[in-house]
Amino acid sequence: MESLLERFLRYVAVDTQSDELSDSQPSTSKQLKLLEMLRDELKAMGAEAELDEWGYVMASIPSNMDRDVPAIGFIAHVDTSPDASGADVKPQIVENYDGGDIPLSGVPGMTLRTKDFPEITAHKGETVITTDGTTLLGADDKAGVAEIMNAVQYIMSHPEIKHGKLCVAFTPDEEIGRGVVKFDVARFGADYAYTMDGGEVGELEFENFNAASASVHIQGRNVHPGYAKGKMRNAILIAQEFNALLPVDQRPEYTSDYEGFLHITSIKGSVEECDFSYIIRDHDSDKFELKKRTLEQCTDFINARYGKGTVTLTIKDQYRNMREKVEPHYHIVEAAVKAMEMAGVKPRIQPIRGGTDGANLSFKGLPCPNIFAGGMNFHGKYEWVTLENMQKASAVILNLVKIFAEK
């Protein structure tokens, strides 16, 4: 049997970065390489598995019980964030971590410092897996993928374990908000499901941000700078002016817990024209709508100042807070709490300051809380995960299988 660590390292070696500018599904064909691998590995384990035209791997393991129990599913996404390269990942494995700073060998002077990321010191003595500083690691969410596959491998090699119908799915494009747009819940076949896509060990989440993206285009007017007086309109400066209108205290670096934010994520332009993007997040639906209205007011102000058509704003909703769909089935949250306690993990129920495929799945009729996958510092070059965290997450999956079989 392949070890969990071997499996994880094999998965992160595959570049699966998604592309928010692509209109295809999946957004990048390179995601299919890992999806095809997973389909084939599931089949080799004895599960029924297929990869459909939209890039969804769905697999099932029939019940081996003589009575009906709920069918449960486990879901993870294969794509990595567009925020940092996921190509040619070179993981560093630090065994028996001593609790100190960890140099990232791929970039001279780059170090995962405990003063910047103090959470890592709680994992002294564990096996820590980091990047080498040149790419992200991909624990978001290949840790979740590996944990689910590890649990499936264990179940298929131990037929004495009693279980109801088990469903597994791996999805593309979660990082760009399109992970389950074409996901067929009925074909998946689960009554309830869990995404293995959280962070630190113990995290359990059934409420998340309402989310939208915003694209802003500034049309300037370029004139030779020697003759620009009264004529030039510098799109870069107008873009800066637009952003300065937004409330500083609603930037993500000043928010926590249930506080939402407006976050500028990219900017590219010239004197003639400039394009930049935001993500909009809030747990409260009224505050969420108010943030969108704030961007609209900024647009109106700039257009009134510089002329109609100077600013074009496009807002797209991405996902909604799943609490209203999961809370009526709160027993699945309670089952996850029990499964963690059985694994020696202290559960921490908290809101997701982000989103998962489970949010959209919950609104498609599949209640789907989110369970920790064990990684930290996602989407960047300081990402890390511990082997022990992944082992505990995989144990939680097996415990949930047992709990639902007993019910």
- Of 330, 306, 372, the residue nearest 141 (C-alpha): 372
Residue-wise burial string across 149-173, b where 16 or more C-beta atoms lie within 10 A, e elsewhere: bbbbbbbbeeeeeebbbbbbbbbbb
Among residues 206, 212, 211, which one has the least CA distance to residue 324? 206
Query: How many other C-beta atoms are found inside a 10 Å radius of the C-beta of residue 185?
Result: 16
Structure tokens at 30: 């390179």
Are 168 and 35 spatial neighbours (Cβ–Cβ below 8 Å)? Answer: no
Cis previous bond, 26, omega within 30: yes
Pick the catalytic residue from 173, 174, 205, 282.
Answer: 174
Nearest to 352 by CA among 186, 206, 191: 206
Q: Can 79 be counted among the known catalytic residues?
A: yes
Annotated active-site residue in 15, 41, 79, 173: 79
Amino acid (1-letter code) at residue 327? E
Token readout for 265 is: 């994520």
Q: Which amino acids are annotated catalytic?
A: 79, 174
